[in-house]
Structures are given as C-alpha cells and as structure tokens.
Amino acid sequence: MTELQFTDVQRDCLQELVNVAMGQASDKLARYLGTFVHLQVPAIALVEAALLSQHFASRYQQQSATLVSLGFFGDQGLRGETIMLYQLANVGVIAQLLGYSDDAVSEAEMLTDISSVLTTTFLSGLAEQLENSFSYAAPRILSCRDQYFADKLAYTAEQWQLALQVDIRYQLTDYSFNCDMILLIPGEAVLRLRQTLDNILADF
Amino acid sequence: MALTALICDDSLLARNQLKKSLPSVFDADIITASNGVEALSILRAREVGLVFLDLTMPELDGVGVLEAIKADAMDCLVIVVSADIQPEMQKRVMELGALAFVQKPATADKLADVMHKYGLI
C-alpha cells in the first residue's frame, strides 16, 4: 500500500496548480458557452479511491447522475483518469444555450463535449506546470442519468489508489451549472506527483 | 525611503513564487496578505505603493478589494495577478482601476515586462 499522505505545503502547492489550471479551463468553457463563467476557488480533497463512491452516493442522495470518464497518460508514470459527475437538474438550460436538441442522445453528446473541453484544458494546464505533457483517450460515458452511478464509480475507482477530488461550482452569468471533477491516479503516480511538487517548492 | 509593496494571495506557493520572481532592481519592502480582508486592513493602516492582487480568494476576493480601494480613493497602484483569465474579468478589473493584468503563474519575465512598462523599475 502506497503512503498517500500529502504535507500541508504540498497540498497548498497542488491547490494553486489546480487553481491556475482551472482558470484556463473556465476561460475555455466561457468561450465555448459564449457566457461569462464566475470562477470560485475549487476546493480540493485527497481521498483514498476506495472511499470515493460512498462519498458521492451520500452527497447526491437518490438523485441520478451522469458520469463521463477521460483517461490521460503523461511522462514518468504520471497517468490516471478523470471523471466528471453531472447532476442533471439544469442540463436542459445549458443544452438550450448551446443549441443542442432536447433529447437523451443530444444530452449525452453535450456532456461529453463539455467534459472534453473542461478536462483536457484543465489537464493540459496542470501538465504544463508540472513540466509534463499528457495525451488523452476519447471521453466515454460511464453512466447516463443513472441512480446506481455510485456502483459504476466504485468499479472504476477500484483500479486506482488515490483520488483528487475537485469540487467545481461554475456559476454562469444567468445559470448555475454544478459539476464535480475527480482525478484518479495510481500509487506510482502519487509518488511522482509528490516528487514534482517538492521540486517546484524547492525552487521558491 | 523604499516603497512598500503588498502581495495578496491565498496560496503560500503563489506568494513565494511572486516574491521570488520580482525584478532584483525593484527596491521595495515586501509584505504579504492571504486574503482580501487582510489586505484591506493593511492598506488602511499603512502606506502601500503597489499591490499584487490575486482575484479568486476566500473571505474577500480581489474584485472586492479593488472596489474598496476605488470607493475609499486609496492611493496605491494595483497589478492583478490571476488565474481567472477570461477577457470579461480582465475588462472588469481594469474598469475598477487596476493598472495591469498578469496571467498566473507570474514569471519573472511577465513581471519585469509589466513593471517596466509602467515605470515601476
């Protein structure tokens, strides 16, 4: 079992890298949606992957959620999978904003597109700061408007060790748009990440 | 007497990064604040010539700080250093009286450019 703990200083460092990457992703999303995106400080949490599904099952209660996954691969063992979770209350509004039709196929297509914009921009921004570069797998939908999404999340999380949970609350000018992003990474990537954070910290 | 410059950012890394990336010819006493509320209480208590201001912060964000500086007609220059790079946001902070906008991470080159442009070094 890999030791997954981060020190406070490493955590602050990672939080700042996430903020910068998230700023780039928001800018991209704002251009994509054609509206201003109010950016909040994204709260990050590092949790064991095994505990993840429980957390989201209780957070989302009985509501259904859609999960979109995107795999990424970097140098020196830094790799993983991002999962975007969408609660669907306000998806119709966003679909209208973007000109997607109001049906299940279009909704899935839209969430895949948004996930792709958000995660690849976010990850590229993160990779750049970590002096790494990522390549990406095509996004895929793990669960669509599913009440049992937690089981699918648990199944996916099983393959990884550490989860970096990023709570994203995007407030568009006129609509609220909530989603959660989870970065799942394996043990050796945790070690690599910590080493990289230490290198960055040593520079300052 | 040397100028006092305030670095306001909630991240320790960002504060250190900025401090270290300031041009060596920039002769100033550097102080720091970790949120907008802290920054304002410093600005109200002592003379600060230049503020490096982050936007997304807990307690009070950078926009709130700029609004207060404007409302109280405080005599300090503000360089916004932010990850929120949307054109709309840049426009907003410039309208609120910021001198310049620097995209995070604040590198030595970017800081030297902007500070040179406005005659701060």
User: Which CATH number is A142's domain given?
Assistant: 3.40.1550.10
B105 touches chain A (CB under 8 A): yes
Cα–Cα distance, A155 to A94 (Å, whole number): 29
Beta bridge partners of A81: A71, A184
CB contact under 8 A, B13 and A36: no
Look up residue A138 and give its two tokens: 């095509």
Domain with A34 in it: 8-198
CB contact under 8 A, A16 and B85: no
- Nearest CB partner across the interface for A23, out of B11, B16, B85: B85
Tell me if A29 is assigned to some domain.
yes
Residues of B in contact with A131 (CB under 8 A): none
CB contact under 8 A, A27 and B85: yes
- Nearest CB partner across the interface for A20, out of B10, B86, B105: B105
Please state, rounded to an integer, the average pLDDT across all residues of chain B.
95
Tell me if A3 is assigned to some domain.
no
Tell me if A66 is assigned to some domain.
yes
Count how many domains chain A has: 1
| Closest residue, chain B, to A173 (C-alpha) | B88
**Helix/strand/coil (H, E, C) string of chain A?**
CCCCCCCHHHHHHHHHHHHHHHHHHHHHHHHHHCCCEECCCCEEEEEEHHHHHHHHHHHHCCCCEEEEEEEEECCCCCEEEEEEEEECCCHHHHHHHHCCCCCHHHHHHHHHHHHHHHHHHHHHHHHHHCCCCCEECCCEEEEEEECCHHHHHHHHHCCCCEEEEEEEEEEECCCEEEEEEEEEECHHHHHHHHHHHHHHHHCC
Tell me if A130 is assigned to some domain.
yes
Q: What is the ipTM of this complex?
A: 0.87
The answer to whether B77 and B121 have CB atoms below 8 angstroms apart is no
Cis amide leading into A139 (omega within 30): no
CB contact under 8 A, A30 and B105: no
CB contact under 8 A, A9 and B12: yes
Cα–Cα distance, A144 to A148 (Å, whole number): 10
CB contact under 8 A, B10 and A204: no
**pLDDT at position B39:** 98
pLDDT grade for A43, boundaries at 50, 70 and 90 = confident
In order of their start, the domains of chain B are 3-117 (3.40.50.2300)
The radius of gyration computed from the CA coordinates of chain A, to the nearest angstrom, equals 17
Tell me if A2 is assigned to some domain.
no
What is the mean predicted confidence (pLDDT) over B93-99?
97
**pLDDT at position A1:** 47
Using CA atoms of A104, A110, A116, A122 in order, give the dihedral in degrees to the nearest 10. Answer: -120
Tell me if A31 is assigned to some domain.
yes
Tell me if A204 is assigned to some domain.
no
Tens of pLDDT along A89-105?
767 777 887 888 878 88
- The whole-angstrom distance between B61's CA and the closest CA on chain A is 10
Tell me if A129 is assigned to some domain.
yes
**pLDDT at position A2:** 52
Tens of pLDDT along B21-42?
999 999 999 999 999 999 999 9
A/B interface, count of CB pairs below 8 Å: 57
